[in-house]
Structure 1
Amino acid sequence: MVSLFFTYVFLGLSIALPVGAITIEMTKQGLKNGFLHGWFVGLGGMTVDFILIILLYFGLAPVLSLPVVQSWMWLIGSLFLLFIGWDSIKNAEKDIHLGDEKPEKSLKSSYLNGLFVAISPGSVVFWLGIFGTVLANSFKSTGNSGFFVVAAGILAGILMHDLILMTIIAKTRVFLNRTIIKWISVTAGFLLIGFAVYFAVEFFKSVFEIG
């Protein structure tokens, strides 16, 4: 079981490496408000991952696969990303805390940002496709214990990625001034809006396909 766990730790680490909306939001919050805020964005994203694992365990994969469910998730994800992206641009000069300055933004707010950004059919497709298959195979071969060992390994790998990324960001922000962080925040906002547009396009495509 130990070797199985560490095998899937590396899988979780590798699947967290590609830059997506969560990574962008983590980086932005980490630069503006420090290590914990960036990490809490990641924890928000992992909460969605955990919920999807539980749903898979209880056999709700067919429901998550329904076109109408995924269509609504495209829309919800688009709206959340649009709001967070616009807020990032509008408040780019605000809430920048360097050195020992205490952030005004709450950790709960950063956590919710990560939670909302992670709500997307992209996450569902991943967990149903790659992860769903892996968990199904482990469940068949080793039962409940194997299922949870694999799930814990992948989540541990994602957590490891988040901690490493935030450590790098925390060390980097020491050398940055407010102007640089401001423009990084603006860039992050536009990237998040780009993801929102992509989600919106996928929503309309799914609506036409359902219709």
Structure 2
Amino acid sequence: MLLEKIVLGVTLAAPIGPVSLEMIRRGLNHGFLSAFIVRVGGAFGNTLCLIMATFGLSLLTQSPVIMNICALLGAMVLIYLGIKSLLKTKNIDVNFSEKSATHSYLSGLMTGFVVSIANPIGIMFWISIFAASYQPDAYTSHAVSLFQNSAIILGVLLWGVLLSGLLEVGKRFFSNRFIKLITFSAGLMLVYFGLKYGIRASSALYAMM
């Protein structure tokens, strides 16, 4: 269960997005730490949204029907994100020569944090992820639920370490083709998780009828 959530976290973080673009911009100019600190800031924002989502669903966990409906909606969100990643793969064009305006670690931390929470549907996104991956038998309390889902954040950070490490090595490992491959692969995995959680939720709802 924990391993699956770690993989889900890596998959969610891998597609190219605002945080990843900022990591690439800073990492190619200033190395590993400048890139990774942006992801750490993003992880703080993700954690805040995850905590709010977990306790926001605390009452709904008492109703299996509502939780499975939320899980089905969450699965649809994952499938949507996966398809979106697949479709935008051909349009990715990163400017690797763009210079980072600042080398401040605090600036990088705040940039990652603000970008991760700036999306007005951020909390709804994490509610969807929580509901889609929710398994009643796996949780004995909301504290345990939060701990289990924190593995998603760990996956996000692990991807941050890998991407930052590649950026430290240098530009020769980076190209638009490489980034497109990562985004495409992550899109497939998101569709896989969405279908898996969707089938599980649909089966549970069917059994309740």
Is the shorter-chain TM-score for this pair beyond 0.5, marking a shared fold? yes
Please list, as runs of the form range in 1=range in 2, the aligned pairs for 1:49-60 lying within 5 A after superposition: 49-51=50-52, 54=55, 60=58
Provide the rounded CA distance (Å) in 1 between the counterparts of 2:12 and 2:189.
10
Q: Is the 8 A contact 2:16 2:179 kept in 1?
A: no
Using a 3 Å threshold, how does the CA distance of structure 1 residues 121 and 157 change in structure 2: closer, same or farther?
Answer: closer
Greater Cα shift, 158-167 or 67-76: 158-167
What amino acid does structure 1 have at the position aligned with 2:88? N
Provide the rounded CA distance (Å) in 2 between the counterparts of 1:110 and 1:39.
20
Please tell me whether residue 33 in structure 1 is matched to residue 16 in structure 2.
no
1:87-131: CA deviation from partner (whole Å, max 9, x where unpaired): 1000013344354548xxx933598396366232424648x7166
Please list, as runs of the form range in 1=range in 2, the aligned pairs for 1:70-81 lying within 5 A after superposition: 70-81=67-78
Root mean square deviation, CA, Å: 4.3
Aligned to 2:85: 88
Aligned to 2:126: 115
What amino acid does structure 1 have at the position aligned with 2:192? G
Using a 3 Å threshold, how does the CA distance of structure 1 residues 125 and 49 change in structure 2: closer, same or farther?
Answer: farther
Deviation of the 1:209 alpha carbon: 1.6
Please list, as runs of the form range in 1=range in 2, the aligned pairs for 1:171-190 lying within 5 A after superposition: 171-173=165-167, 174=170, 175-190=173-188
What amino acid does structure 2 have at the position aligned with 1:119? F
Provide the rounded CA distance (Å) in 1 between the counterparts of 2:44 and 2:128.
11
Provide the rounded CA distance (Å) in 2 between the counterparts of 1:189 and 1:24.
8
What amino acid does structure 1 have at the position aligned with 2:131? S
Aligned to 2:11: 24
**How many percent identity over aligned positions?**
13
What amino acid does structure 2 have at the position aligned with 1:33? L
Partner SS state of residue 180, structure 1: helix
Q: TM-score, normalised by structure 1?
A: 0.60
Using a 3 Å threshold, how does the CA distance of structure 1 residues 193 and 97 change in structure 2: closer, same or farther?
Answer: same
Please tell me whether residue 97 in structure 1 is matched to residue 94 in structure 2.
yes
Give the number of equivalent residue pairs: 175
Structure 2: runs of 5 or more not aligned: 24-36, 100-113
Provide the rounded CA distance (Å) in 2 between the counterparts of 1:116 and 1:55.
8
Q: TM-score, normalised by structure 2?
A: 0.61
Greater Cα shift, 68-77 or 91-100: 91-100
